[in-house]
Amino acid sequence: MWAVFKKEWLGSFRTMIGWIFLAVTIFFMGWYFRFYGLNSGLPYLSYIISASQFIFLFTLPLLTMRSFSEERRHKTDQLLFTAPVEVWEVVLGKYLAAACVFLPVIPVMMVYPCILGIYGEVPFAENALAILGFVFFGLSALAVGIFISALTENQVIAAVLTFFVLLLSVMIPSISTMISREGNVLTRALRILELTAPFDHSLYGVLHWPSYVYYLSVIAVALFLTVYLLTARRFHVRTHGILGAFGNIVKAVAFLGTVVAVNVICFMVPQEKQSIDMTYNGIRSLTPEGTAVIQALDKGVEIYVLVDPEEKDETLDATLKRMQELSGYLKVEYLSPEENPYFYLSYTDAEPVPNSMIVVCGRKSRVINYYDCYQVSYDYSYDVASGSYIATDYQVSGYDGEGRLTAAISYVTSDHVPKIYCITGHSELSLEDELKSRIENALYEVEEIKLLMHEEIPEDGDIIFILAPFSDLNEEDVAKVKGFLQKGKSAIFVVAYTDTAELTNYYSILEDYGIRVLPGVVHENDPDYCNMEPAFLLPEIVEGDLTEKIYTAGRTRYIYMPFAKGLRLVETADSTAMTFLRSTKESHTEGAEEEQGPFSLGVFAEHFGAESTSHIVVFSSDYFMYKDINLAVNGANYDLFMKALGKVSETEDMTDIPVKGYAYDPILIGSTAKDFYAAILIGVLPGALLACGLFIWYRRRHG
């Protein structure tokens, strides 16, 4: 076997075939790396591999077309049949030689993420998995090419036929759709021949081990059939009789049956145990919170996905499949809008966009807009003509499919959904989209309300948000808020730092709970609690149930509160207040009336009325609510806000599933570095390989 391997491997590099394969492949992969990696800054190899896949359909047949067709054309296959070596050793030697010509491409691919890693963060685990999937795909294609080469004595026909077979395997999804959109026995049989479907798992960051069993099976079957075909010819030269031929047929059937059985058993394993999510943010797996919600279902829930099955969103589909595996009460059905154009009218008046979902349980339903399943960040620029800011670009920054689905399922199966009213009309902050998504996903209904339009806050509200008003509430507004709280309702207040007059009426609401807002802004003198600027506070986190998982003894998590106002707690007969965020003793307020710290910066308070008790939480910085400030402390601000919401609503089992952010931002590389890497990977390296091949070919031709 090793003699055959050595002969074939050296033969590939003594001719131009091996050199041309490497040069052409590395050139095109380098070209796509230049586009996706260097210019676009995308840190994922999956883009490069997907774009290069079609090129490999042309180049891989170059490595296998001569394997046996050339032997037959020159009649040297007779020597192999009569040589003191087994046929399987010949086949395996030729296959390993082709594989060793193909595999040098892999180290070059591994260089790409290393280059990008110099300039930014790169998901190395996902890139390694993409390379692994590509290796198995390539080795399977080579085995198919070896078998096809044994069918003909013309290497050109062998190359063309291999390309056609590989192209056909790539086109099987489209062919299956043309045969039947719903799927039938024929389309399921065709899917067995689809080489790219298992490969796709690795490109999406999922280690799907049955896919690798499938690829090993393809390699084994292709090589076995090659051995079987050559053995049949060997018997033609040295006949062993009918019994020998019959014995080989029995062995072939037994082998193929074993391979099929192994694959069937692997794919019968529950799907949640078939794969490992290797994405850095767990985007293709469910969180423990989401899993608990699905497993607790005791009512039938139907999810209708409004899209043609062939155009479904792969990430959403993975989430739906995992949910469906966890509960027999959950059913998912894809409905083509073309075949069911008016289905949505039973649940909503507005036509949903493709890939939107309708979650139904009994008479309750909720529509999930597809666009809400992804978090999008926009870039704005000022347009002089219109005098306003317009969106110039956008980037998908996070996935919220699991959170939206979990919230919708909880909503349609729950008897009561707490309602939150966000008070507006006083220049308050609006909830950031990410925080609003988390609140809704935790099974709260959020609605904005102007107090001016209502005599009182509606009775169906459970909680109110007053988020950093920059203008004061009038006395009527204050009366409405106090009347709401006197009914045993809850609230979250945020205090804004403003240069305007103090918000006397607004602060009077907090004084009922023993909380006094001090003038000015808090400055820190202790350098351990400053973030470059004295007013950029990293307050002390007080241990308690409200700060669970945020407070750490080693202070590994921080809350970020720039320009916070100081709060003083005053004892009252009918209220209690507890500090959960505070400044240090060295802090002080900057303003007309300077006071010395420590100050409360986050407070939970209760007010005991004659018939009921109300709960409030106060944060003393409006910057605390900003998305960029939250990102600076890895989401701790919003985690604390959600804890506060659970505290005031007395919801201990609140399901809080954060948006799964795409933390890997585009990588920025200078133009000089781009040109340097592009020149090496697209010009110098492929050119050097071709030059080596030409030099060796010329020496052999004229030596």
User: Out of 288-297, 598-607, 640-649, 658-667, which region has the weakest mean confidence (pLDDT)?
Assistant: 658-667
Q: Where are the domains of the chain?
A: 2-278+675-696, 286-415, 422-661
Q: How confident is the model at residue 617 (pLDDT cuts 50, 70, 90)?
A: very high
pLDDT at 272 over 80: no
Closest-CA residue to 262 (of 223, 229, 221, 207): 221
pLDDT for res 514: 92
pLDDT (tens digit per residue) in 515-542: 999 988 999 887 766 667 888 998 999 9
pLDDT at 151 over 80: yes
pLDDT for res 571: 86
Closest-CA residue to 537 (of 427, 637, 645): 637
Residues 284-307, mean pLDDT to the nearest whole number = 89
pLDDT for res 356: 93
Residues 640-658, mean pLDDT to the nearest whole number = 80
pLDDT (tens digit per residue) in 390-402: 666 666 777 888 8
Considering only residues 244 and 691, tell me which one the structure prediction assigns the higher pLDDT: 691
Task: Tell how many helices (H) and how many strands (E) occur in the chain.
Answer: 23, 24
Rg from Cα positions in the chain = 33
Strands in 402-458 per DSSP E: 419-424, 445-450
Which tokens sit at 247? 């014995």
Longest dimension (CA), the chain: 110
Mean pLDDT, all residues of the chain = 84
pLDDT for res 378: 64
Closest-CA residue to 400 (of 283, 312, 276): 283
d(CA 506, CA 522): 20
pLDDT at 245 over 60: no
Residues 253-281, mean pLDDT to the nearest whole number = 79
Asked whether the beta carbons of 178 and 200 are under 8 A apart, the reply is: no
CATH class of 286-415: alpha beta
pLDDT for res 300: 92
Residues 127-137, mean pLDDT to the nearest whole number = 91
d(CA 200, CA 198): 5
- Domain spanning 422-661, CATH architecture: 3-Layer(aba) Sandwich (3.40)
pLDDT at 75 over 50: yes
Asked whether the domain spanning 422-661 has the same topology as the one spanning 286-415, the reply is no
Cβ burial, residue 425 (10 Å; 0-12/13-18/19+):
middle
pLDDT at 237 over 60: no
Phi/psi of residue 68, nearest 5 degrees? -120, -25
pLDDT at 581 over 90: yes
In the chain, the percentage of residues whose pLDDT exceeds 90 is 31
Q: How confident is the model at residue 181 (pLDDT cuts 50, 70, 90)?
A: low
pLDDT at 423 over 50: yes
pLDDT (tens digit per residue) in 621-648: 999 999 888 878 878 899 899 999 988 8
Which tokens sit at 636? 């701790």
